[in-house]
Amino acid sequence: MTDNTTSSGGGAATINPVRFGPESRFVFECHKGVPCFTSCCRGINILLTPYDIVRLKNRLDLSSTEFLAIYTEPHLLEKTDLPVVSLKLLDDEQTSCPFVRDDGCIIYEDRPTACRYYPLGVATLSHKETDMPAPDGDGFYFFVNEPHCKGFEEKKEWTVAEWRKDQGVDIHDEINAEWTDLVVRKRSFPANVQLTEQAKKMFFMVSYDVDAFKRFVFESSFLSRYDIDPDTVEKIRNSEVELLKFGFRWLKAIFFKGEGFTVKK
């Protein structure tokens, strides 16, 4: 992510990105026959989303706490002061992704959102800062044709919408949507409005440590303090995706006085 909440799976850009909409077209294809295959998986910065953590920790049969400790580095997101994590790169000559090999990605089916988007990125505007129409309500896409990437010399043509569906990133965006909105809302706060350290810890747990958040909900007084309907309780008990979405709504309620959570009398 950058100042505009952007993410892209490639290396450092050498030319200015081009703003795209859902029907914008581009030519790109990546496969083992491309000379630069796996080059974009080295010397990169991959910011991880909440759903990325769920997919990756389950793929590796780790708890979210274990995955965070082994494979991520914490950061404070610029202009928000919110805690986020990026993928921890290897300490080799190319600062490679820990999951890349010469013949490809060993966790490809569960690769992060940013990797799925490449060679596109997605940007989210500051909350309510513009009336300009955007693809997903208050965001847009960008395209960077990096000279070192030979995938742009292939023949396959896509629209942005086709690429997002083909890469499964539309599903990731849908699951992460309320989390993204939280980040955008916080960035729109005045600079002097800061969250407490406790609030930051809560944001981090809900966003990334889904196993810890599940324990917090079901093993603390949480359910005795909030009036949560039984169907919702059952859903979040059995689905990590539903638990994530529930957590995002709860954060929105306590940070921004949103609706949906009633404290029991």
pLDDT (0 to 100) of residue 137: 43
Amino acid in position 205:
M
- To 10 degrees, the CA torsion angle through 194, 72, 238, 205? -20
Write out the E strands in 106-245. 120-124, 139-143, 157-159
Whole-prediction pTM = 0.87
Helix ranges restricted to H, 72-196? 113-117, 160-167, 169-187
134-162 residue pLDDT tens: 344 446 899 888 888 999 999 999 999 99
CA dist 203 and 214 (Å) reads 14
pLDDT (0 to 100) of residue 139: 62
CB 25 within 8 A of CB 158: yes
- φ and ψ at residue 247, rounded to 5 degrees: -65, -40
Residues of the chain with pLDDT under 70: 1-15, 124-139
pLDDT (0 to 100) of residue 164: 96
A 10 A CB-CB count for 247 gives 24
CB 38 within 8 A of CB 92: no
Beta bridge pairs of residue 19: 142
CA dist 234 and 31 (Å) reads 42
pLDDT (0 to 100) of residue 195: 86
Task: Report the relative pairing of strands 82-87 and 100-101 from DSSP bridges.
Answer: unpaired
Q: Report cis status (omega within 30 of 0) of the bond before 119.
A: yes
**Percent of the chain, pLDDT > 70?**
88
pLDDT (0 to 100) of residue 187: 86
Token pair belonging to 73 = 């580095």
**Radius of gyration for the chain, computed over Cα atoms and rounded to the nearest angstrom:** 19
